[in-house]
Amino acid sequence: MVRLLTDSNAFFFEPDFARKHGIRVAPFTLRIGERRYSEPELTTEALLQRVAEAGSVPALEPPSPEQFAAIFEELARESSSLVAILMSEKLSRAPHNARLGAEALLGRCKIHIIDSQSTSLGLGSLVEIAARQAERGADADEIVKAVRAGVHRLYGVFFCETMAYSAQLQHVGQAHALLGEMLDIKPVLALEEGDLIPIEKARTRAQAIEHLVEYAIEFPKIERCAILQATPKPNEDTRALLEQLAAEVPGQKWPIITYPPSLAALLGPNAMGILVHEGESVE
């Protein structure tokens, strides 16, 4: 049977999904000043609290090539075919490091590295596709084909309260972020081809929420979706967003999930967004 690997950025509605389905999870590390924390050790709220105390933006460190090599070595004892599905390479270097780690097993094991071009629920959805395929007996090539088809049906849009964190993103940068902070702009970022790209600028959170709603109504068929925020409980913004979504997309359920620490490192506190797994079109 093909063995599967993902990273700790993946979100599953069933918390024990990875363990139940034999999926290995490689942990990210969050560095705050001189302290390092393994992602599974921290909640998003705990991370943001430590960041506030330290007064510095966290750095996101993916599993190293050596960590990936060690996991691949272990999994290769059980299967000659491995599939790794990881957080977008444009948001982290996880796929890059996995490819380097896989070099140690060249000729001994076939390892497929898939850049999810997504994060959180999007990444988790792809891992679930792979798990279903693997459990019905699909080979590695079939699993890779099914997952890659799913990559192109994942979408997301977020807004940030501060641009200090998003300055780490290639399409934002330090200068743009500094200007945005001075003007008190809340950037609206779309997940496009695995990267978070600024698409709008909002002056208020109410305006930013309107942009999320405008984005959501573009999908005629939604297979899975969620609202992402820094805390698990609904707040005033969540209720406003849910009210507008109910009016514009009637009948669609929008569960609320907490974005993981590895995404919080890029979005910061009080961010909000939606992730959509678009349904397959019927020709």
Give residue 197's pLDDT: 86
Tokens matching residue 184: 């008190």
CATH top-level class of 3-28+63-151: alpha beta
- Domain 154-278 fold is Hypothetical Protein Tm841; Chain: A;domain 3 (3.30.1180)
Burial 203-223 (b: 16+ CB within 10 A, else e): eebeebbbbbbebbeebeebe
pLDDT of residue 183: 43
Share of the chain above pLDDT 90, in %: 75
How many CB atoms neighbour CB 107 within 10 A?
5
What is the arithmetic mean of pLDDT over 74-83? 95
Q: Lowest mean pLDDT of 58-72, 120-134, 176-190, name the range.
A: 176-190
pLDDT digits (tens, 9 = 90+) for 233-261: 899 999 999 999 999 999 999 999 999 99
Query: What CA–CA distance (Å, rounded) separates 125 from 11?
Result: 8
The pLDDT value given to residue 170: 55
Per-residue confidence (pLDDT) for residue 178, from 0 to 100: 44
Does the pLDDT of residue 198 top 90, yes or no?
no
Where along the chain do its domains lie?
3-28+63-151, 154-278
Nearest-angstrom CA–CA distance, 208 and 161: 10
Q: What is the mean pLDDT of the chain?
A: 90
Task: For residues 13-37, give the mean pLDDT.
Answer: 95
> In this predicted model, what pLDDT tens digit does every residue of 106-150 receive, in sequence order?
988 999 999 999 999 999 999 999 999 999 999 999 999 999 999
Q: Which residues are CB-contacts of 106 (< 8 A; sequence separation ≥ 6)?
A: none
When pLDDT is averaged across residues 152-180 and rounded to a whole number, the result is: 68
More confident residue, 135 or 202: 135
Task: Report the share of the chain in percent with pLDDT over 70.
Answer: 92
Domains 3-28+63-151 and 154-278 share a fold: no
Say yes or no to pLDDT of 173 above 60.
no
pTM of the complete model: 0.92
